[in-house]
Each structure stands twice: as structure tokens, then as C-alpha cells.
Amino acid sequence: MDMNEFTGIWKLQFADFQNPGHIHIAEHYLDIRPDGTVEFASKMSGQFAGMTLNGCGTWTQNGDILSWTIGENTTDTSFTLRSDVLAFDCDPVLLKEGKTPMSTEYSRAT
């Protein structure tokens, strides 16, 4: 895979096949960089409206598996990339109720 297809800014569209609002997220972006770093930024909604979540980490790829390190946590997840849609089996950042991995789907941000 050409890493230029994978790197860039991605906007969350679905979390566990639902609108991200169901987990109190108004907006969530991943900025995946060719140098192996990633930054994320979230704006919360509902009871958490006005709060933000930001952070950074690193990533490496081995075939269709991505290894992410965010803080002290390392996660391996499979992914698919179709045109301008990036889907993760286990999102590297988002956890349902702060503990349960979830599948996510992102579109390329314009």
C-alpha cells in the first residue's frame, strides 16, 4: 500500500456502526503523518459538551495491521482503506465508556 493513501487528516463518521453522537462525540479527527506520528482531536457533545480531548502518539504498519502507541497503551488493529474511507476493527483512540474497543469508520477530511 502506498502510505500517501493512508496518511492525512481523517474525520470520524461512525463508531460501532452508529453516529458518533451516541458516545458523546461531536467531532473527532485523526491526523496520520508519514513520519509515523499521529495526532487526534475530539469535541464532545451531550453531557460533555464544551470539553475537548487531544493527544498524540505513533504508528507503524505491517501488512493490514497497524500498531498504535498512544500514551502508555499499544494497540494492534486491522484496517481497511477503500478510496477515501478508512475503517478500523478496534479504534486506536476511542473506547466505548472508556474501556471497550469499538470499530470505527473515517472519511478523508477536506
Q: How far is residue 27 CA from its own chain's centroid?
A: 11
Q: What residues have CB less than 8 Å from 82, skipping those under 6 apart?
A: none
* 18-45 pLDDT, tens digit each: 999 999 999 999 999 999 999 999 999 9
Intra-chain end-to-end CA distance of the chain, in Å: 22
CB atoms within 10 A of CB 109: 14
CA-CA-CA-CA torsion sign (99, 49, 21, 34): negative
* 79-105 pLDDT, tens digit each: 999 889 999 999 988 888 778 889 999
- pTM for the complete prediction? 0.90
Q: Does domain 3-79 have CATH number 1.10.10.10?
A: no
